[in-house]
Amino acid sequence: MATAPRDLDRPAFYALRSGGWRDLVTILHPPYTAWHLSYVALGAAAAPVLHAGRLGAALGAFFLAVGVSAHALDELAGRPLRTALTDRALLALALIGLVGAVAIGVAGIVVVSPLLIPFVAVGAFLVLAYNLELAGGRFHTDTWFALAWGAFPAFTGYFVNALEIRPAGVLVAAACFLLSVAQRRLSTPVRELRRSTIDVSGEQHLADGRVVELDRTRLAAPLESALSALWLALVLLAAGLVAVRL
């Protein structure tokens, strides 16, 4: 029987040892939060004019909404990351994150344009609908994941700078939707291997006669290597495009 190495006992490749400040870092899902914030920057970089202040505000709002609030609510539902944070602490983080994000949005409505009202409303709705699995979980699907955390951040980043709809913003949002689909198809089997798989056994027989033993480590390694490369690549791509535009 194959035995997984100790690191596969963690609920995620980025999860720190449970307890104290480490739990606060872990629930941020740092690579995935950075990944989805890169969508905001990619959308902004596609706008006719890139306003640094608006981009900074949008990044701050999505960090609070997704990185803090959504992830705190996710951890509240069953402790998938096995943190020791109390329900009260998680609820406080979720509330602070969502209120902070909405406050930034309201400031944008006042300072930039009332056209941002639908984006603030939809953003708040998505955090609650997806993570609280409202309507019997209808919003907690892979498609809604890609819409909420892929297409929506990208299009918001575009619109807050452009204040109009053009093909460039739609195309970037569509690309980020598909990138989130790819993320989900890589991360879902890895989560299953780490969090709910006791053992994997089997053999892979190659054409040259070699036999490779299959275990959790072998199955998870290429998926997590791809995830690790993708989040960093997208952050660098977004940073590079924004640097060109500023």
For residue 162, the tally of other CB atoms under 10 A from its CB is 21
When pLDDT is cut at 50, 70 and 90, the band that residue 123 belongs to is very high
More confident residue, 233 or 8: 233
What does pLDDT average to over the chain?
A: 93
**What average pLDDT does this structure show over 15-42?**
94
pLDDT computed for residue 108 by the predictor:
96
Q: Give the lowest-confidence range in 14-18, 40-44, 146-150.
A: 14-18
pLDDT computed for residue 133 by the predictor:
87
pLDDT computed for residue 182 by the predictor:
96
Taking 50 as the threshold, does the pLDDT of residue 5 lie above it? no
**What average pLDDT does this structure show over 122-138?**
92
**What average pLDDT does this structure show over 169-186?**
97
How far is 222 from 213, CA to CA, in rounded Å? 15
How far is 141 from 79, CA to CA, in rounded Å? 19
SS3 assignment for 117-166: HHHHHHHHHHHHHHHCCHHHHCCCCHHHHHHHHHHHHHHHHHHHHHCCCC
**What average pLDDT does this structure show over 206-222?**
90
Taking 70 as the threshold, does the pLDDT of residue 110 lie above it? yes
Percent of the chain at pLDDT above 90? 79
When pLDDT is cut at 50, 70 and 90, the band that residue 4 belongs to is very low
pLDDT computed for residue 7 by the predictor:
61
Taking 90 as the threshold, does the pLDDT of residue 201 lie above it? no
Taking 60 as the threshold, does the pLDDT of residue 1 lie above it? no
Q: Phi/psi zone of residue 77: left (φ > 0), alpha (ψ -120 to 50 degrees), beta? A: beta
Q: Give the lowest-confidence range in 45-49, 147-151, 192-196.
A: 192-196
Q: What's at 94, amino acid-wise?
A: A
**What average pLDDT does this structure show over 187-205?**
90
Kindly state the helix (H) or strand (E) to which residue 101 belongs, with its residue range: helix 87-111
Taking 80 as the threshold, does the pLDDT of residue 96 lie above it? yes
- CB environment 65-103: b (16+ within 10 A), e (fewer): bbbbbbbbbbbbeeebbbbebeeebbeebbeebbebbbe
**What average pLDDT does this structure show over 139-157?**
95
How far is 102 from 84, CA to CA, in rounded Å? 28
When pLDDT is cut at 50, 70 and 90, the band that residue 195 belongs to is confident
- Going from N- to C-terminal start, the domains of the chain cover 9-245
